[in-house]
Amino acid sequence: MEAIVPGEPARLNEFVVRVTAPNPGMMTGPGTNTYIVGTDDLALIDPGPESLPHLAAMRDAVGPRLKWILCTHTHLDHSPGARALKAETGAQLLGFGAVPDDGRQDAAFAPDRRLRDGDVLDCGAFRLRAVHTPGHASNHLCYLLEHQKLLFTGDHIMQGSTVVISPPDGDMIAYLGSLERLLSLDLAAVAPGHGHVIERPHDEVRRLIAHRTKRERKVLDALGKKSPATLDDLLPLVYDDVSPGIHPVARRSLHAHLIKLRDEGKAAESGATWKLQ
């Protein structure tokens, strides 16, 4: 598997080219993937962060043929780049729309067309169908390239790491439900917002569900050992298998697991502490 190099176009098949933004890091892996779809009129999925080098790379890759810009969600590493790209190309901007700002959102995102679950963008030579997948973000959409059965998953599924669920907009119950839903889709592969294309997508979805289920059992076990407990009390018990350097990020997903358990009647919250119900 070839390394992903930011700024270098990588052709994935006859219809799809990947250009990765120069924003590598713990949360973004090699960087945010932008996908260019089509052969004549083009659609571009996830223009990434505001970045002059990435804008230039996208502009070079699409030339004068870009007609549509689609965003999977409005986190700051996925949608802000749309504004400059739209201004330069005149392409139509599509997405679910903005959500209440939690400090992680592109609050200025304003699509020309708001998409909902099942909406189809007919691009002539190809069709992209929106699949609403809330959980990582309440406005998260995946896009299915129907004739190739290729699903562009944004941050719903990432290659090489698990997705962070950050309350209040992130929701663990919704995330698991959205994963389950993918098992009913006829998919050949998924193209994630970070990392390489994932083959055998249903196996990957089942792996992710099993991982989250195992983590939830660790939350329940930790509450059984230490209750009532704060998030910081529980964090080293639940995430004893990851580097402490990741704990500040893992704390968000821990909070999401606890909210899920509370809403299911399995845990109780009192001020800053949690206990088994």
Which pairing describes strands 16-20 and 33-37: parallel, antiparallel, or unpaired?
antiparallel
Gap between the Cα atoms of 40 and 61, Å rounded = 12
What was the pLDDT predicted at 2?
Answer: 85
Write the CB contacts of 133 (distance below 8 Å, at least 6 apart in sequence). Answer: 140, 141, 142, 153, 156, 178, 181, 182
Q: Say which of 40, 41, 77, 232 is annotated catalytic.
A: 77
Residues of the chain with pLDDT under 50: none
**pLDDT at residue 98 in the model:** 85
- pTM score: 0.96
Strands 141-145 and 150-154: antiparallel
Domains and CATH numbers, the chain: 10-199 (3.60.15.10), 209-276 (1.10.10.10)
For the chain, the straight-line distance linking the first and the last C-alpha, in angstroms and rounded, comes to 47
CB atoms within 10 A of CB 176: 18
Does 77 participate in catalysis according to the annotation? Answer: yes
pLDDT confidence of residue 32: 98
What is the per-residue pLDDT for 135?
A: 98
How high is the pLDDT of residue 227?
Answer: 86
Alpha-carbon distance 52 to 62, whole Å?
A: 15
Residue 160, pLDDT score: 82
